[in-house]
Every structure is written in structure tokens, then in C-alpha cells.
Amino acid sequence: MAIATESSQTKTFCVNHPETETLLRCNKCGKPVCMKCVQRTPVGYRCNECLGLQRAGYYNASAFDYILAFVIALFLGGIGAVVMSFLNLGFFSIIIAIFVGPIAGGIVSEAIRRIISKRRGRYLALVTCVALVLGALAAFLVPALPFLLAGRPEILARFALNIGFWIFLAVAVSTVYARLRV
């Protein structure tokens, strides 16, 4: 008759939370981690450090790629704004903006992706969206500038109340962000 002896297990604690006992380990580096410090992946649980290193390899855009994306979005945002500022047709401009905004956003994001050879950057979508908004606002306000200088600010109000333009800009920016984010 064999006598069962209790084996004493050593307790392991999370590397980031020394007071939290855990049985989990990162499947890449083997560090003990708690549920707060781990993410489930298709191949198992990974610590945040290993995931950060893995994700860093995805980003291969250079500083020049960011500059190109900014210039392209600035230019195309200005063109889109000029077109939409002349389509101030009341309710019909809203309908146009809803349908044309995603198309314009897709054109901008695809042009940027092709020009930078489909390289990815952590902040590429954000830089592109900022440039798109700046280009659109600049092109939207330039036609109103002579009227402002002539002392007729009511023309600026007419431009600013072009709801179709604002819907177009919001939809185009959200499309660009969705297509360029990693």
C-alpha cells in the first residue's frame, strides 16, 4: 500500500503585481502573469510586453511616409471641400454627402496606401485625418475670406451652415481612419 504524500507547490506571483498569485504564464517568454497583465491570442495567453514587441514589427512606415500622407490628405481634403462647398443645395447636399463621403474617404486612404507602398504606421491614420480636416477647412474658408475682409461676415455664416459639407467631412474622415488604422 502506497502512502500519498503532499507535494509542496511553490507559489508564483505576477511579475507586475507581486501580491497577486497566479498559475498563468506567457506562452512566449514564460513569465508568470495575472489576468490583468495578459491577453488571449489565437495561440494562447501572451503578456503585454511580448504583444508590444510583436506589434512593433508591423509598423514599418518611415517619417517620409507620414509627410507624404499628410500632403496627400491635405491636398485631397481641399479638393473635396471645394466640391462640397459649391454643392450647397439644402437637403440634397446632405444626401450627396452621405453617399460621396465614404467614396472620397476611400479614395484618399487608397491613394495614400498605394503611394507609401502599403507600409503601416502606428499614427498614420491619425496624421492623415488631421491633414484631411485641415485641408478641407482651409479650402472651405478660403472662398469666404474676401467677404470677411469686405466686412460681410454673414457670408461666412452661410458657408458654416452648409450641413452637407460637415457631414461629408465627418464621413470621409471616419472612412479614412477606419481604412488606415492598424
How does pLDDT run across 85-143, given as a tens digit for each residue? 777 677 788 888 899 999 999 999 999 999 988 888 888 989 999 999 999 988 877 77
pLDDT of residue 182: 66
Global pTM exceeds 0.75: no
How does pLDDT run across 12-50, given as a tens digit for each residue? 888 888 888 888 888 888 888 888 888 888 888 888 888
Task: Output the 3-class SS for the chain.
Answer: CCCCCCCCCCCCECCCCCCCECCCECCCCCCECCHHHEEEECCEEEEHHHHHHHHHCCCCCCHHHHHHHHHHHHHHHHHHHHHHHHCCCCHHHHHHHHHHHHHHHHHHHHHHHHHCCCCCCCCHHHHHHHHHHHHHHHHHHHHHHHHHHCCCCHHHHHHHCCHHHHHHHHHHHHHHHHHHCC
pLDDT of residue 73: 95
Q: What is the mean pLDDT of residues 50-76?
A: 82
pLDDT band for position 1 (cuts 50, 70, 90): very low
How does pLDDT run across 55-64, given as a tens digit for each residue? 655 677 888 9
